[in-house]
Structure 1
């Protein structure tokens, strides 16, 4: 079967090939309604499919971006990706999503794959383990945006939460309720991932400013598989915490599992706050107090920044860090 070409569409709709090209690129400013209708009808009747490879070679763009997320199991990641995809869809960009599992080797493989596919830009939740690769993209002025995590050694536009403030307002809420034995648990701190480190800093700052001693045994930064043991150590100490801050959704789930397995009552025996307003927080019994981050706004900002960089690739600009404010949603777990 002969492949339908743009010339075929032009002849069938009685317009020039350049007019068809303008239609396909949505440049309708000087195109009449009848012309658009004829071209659309010809495309449908002939079954024409644009050759995106040929178009990308001509335009030197693929209208495709890559998104490399740290861990697809985090609800935060899926919401961010949804917001990015919404913006890209509105701008006729395609999105390739990759899950790095916080593994620098896996992240490196995906960066190289995306670059080989000639994506126009990349949004990445950086592991921090590929500094030379990040730096090479910066040096090339390749459109690059970081989300959720900063790397001090690099000047890259970054979108993230005000993480210190997120933990600070949670601990302050505990203190206002009379709690002084406050624990905190997050994912592993070994690689100094920005939100984890900053939330611990915010926790410590709130305690210090209120004259409450900081106890190392109340602070846990662990792999998910080690959190159960870490919680056991925390709650079997001489003075177990009466309140706990779970710094992300995975640690919150581990706390809830521990509470259930050990028959603890929320909030009578343990007050609980989670950072990230997970979908189940409002329907859990009792409903969970959470610190919410404006995830969709953050994802939208990341996508808009990247598309602006792609459209103005040669323009030099000041690198900026965009921090979004958290908000405390008080329910019945505190």
Structure 2
């Protein structure tokens, strides 16, 4: 099959090659509707496909962005990824998505692979285990944005939830419903994963603000596979909790599973609030109260920040942390 050139498209549409190039790059400001339609028709008639490699060499860009998610099993992660991919696709960028499984070595391999492929930028949910690589990218002013997790000493643009406020909202809702024995459970904080640590800090602050004791035995963190054991310990206490704040969707699933297996009524035997809206929360019996993250706004902001860096001629260091506000969705589990 013959490769159709941009020149042949221009000849067919009776325009210049630069006009076709502007059309392909979606620069329509000085182009009439009639011209656009002629170019579109010529492309379709000739079955023209742009030469991505040639375009990349000419514009010194691969029009590709890498996104490295810490754990793709979180509903939050998949919602963020969907929006990032959609936002970048609208601007002509392709997206390579990698799942690090919260493993620093896996994350390192992905970062090195994506840099070798000369992606134009990275959005990373950092594991926190590759400080040297993060520092190298910052020193070279390589476009990078952190999502969901901060590493403050690096001063890299970061988009995340106001996690303290998320925990406060949940505790206030419990207190308004007359619960005082309130537990928080999160997945492991072994590498000081900032959302989990901050939600525990927010829980402690809120309990203190409401004049309630902060009991160490009510604060639990564990890997996902150990959460059932943690729940066994909690409900074996002399004074088990009346309410549980599930720090993320994975914890919420394990709490609901435990309640079902042990025939604990929600909220009669234990009230439950989860951080992160999940697809089943609204139709579970009873429907689950959640503190939702503004996932679309967070993804939009991360994409905006990355494109600003990619398109900026002055590649200066970025240092801002953008915190977006959660919202409480009241249902019947509290």
TM-score, length of structure 1 as denominator length: 0.96
Question: CA 1:100/1:313 → structure 2, altered by over 3 Å: closer, same or farther?
Answer: farther
Please state whether the residue corresponding to 2:102 is helix, strand or coil. Answer: coil
Q: Which residue of 2 aligns with 1:195?
A: 195
In 2, the alpha carbon distance for the partners of 1:92 and 1:276 equals 30
Mapped to 1, the partners of 2:95 and 2:44 lie a distance apart of 25
User: What's the counterpart of residue 160 of structure 2?
Assistant: 160
> How many pairs does the alignment contain?
334
In structure 1, the partner of 2:14 is 14
**Mean Cα deviation higher: 322-331 or 248-257:** 322-331
Structure 2: give runs of 5+ residues left out of the alignment.
none
C-alpha change, 1:58 and 1:272, in structure 2 (3 Å) is same
Task: Kindly report structure 1 stretches of 4+ aligned residues shifted beyond 4 Å.
Answer: none
Shift of 1:224: 0.6
Unaligned 5+ runs, structure 1: none
Residue matched to 1:205 = 205
Bigger mean CA offset, 156-165 vs 6-15: 6-15
Q: Which residue of 2 aligns with 1:34?
A: 34
C-alpha displacement of 1:25:
1.9
Q: 2:141 matched to which residue of 1? A: 141
Tell me if structure 2 keeps the 8 A contact 1:160–1:324.
yes
Match of 1:271 in 2: 271
Q: Give the deviation of 1:313 after TM superposition.
A: 4.4
Q: Distance in 2 between matches of 1:202 and 1:175?
A: 15
> d(CA) in 2 for partners of 1:31 and 1:329?
47
1:230 counterpart = 2:269 = no
Distance 1:255 1:233 in 2: 13
Aligned counterparts of 1:3 and 1:263: Cα–Cα separation in 2: 67
| CA deviation profile, 1:285-329 (whole Å, cap 9, x unmatched) | 111111111111111111111111111142536521110111222
Shift of 1:42: 2.1
Partner SS state of residue 198, structure 2: helix
Deviation at 1:20, TM superposition (A): 2.1
How far did residue 236 of structure 1 move?
Answer: 0.8
Matched residue of 1:153: which SS?
A: helix
- Is the Cα contact below 8 Å between 1:141 and 1:313 reproduced in 2? no
- The 1-side partners of 2:199 and 2:33 are apart by 56
* RMSD across aligned positions (CA): 1.4
Q: Distance in 2 between matches of 1:37 and 1:240?
A: 69
Match of 2:241 in 1: 241
Q: Bigger shift: 86-95 or 315-324?
A: 315-324
Partner-residue secondary structure (3-state), 1:278: coil
Instruction: Output one character per residue of 1:17-40: Cα deviation in whole Å (capped at 9) or x when no partner.
Output: 222222222233333433333322
Distance 1:290 1:28 in 2: 44
CA deviation profile, 1:118-160 (whole Å, cap 9, x unmatched): 1111100000001010000001111110010001221101100
The alignment partner of 1:272 has SS state of strand
Asked if structure 2 preserves the Cα contact closer than 8 Å seen for 1:143 and 1:313, the reply is no
Q: CA deviation at 1:53?
A: 1.0
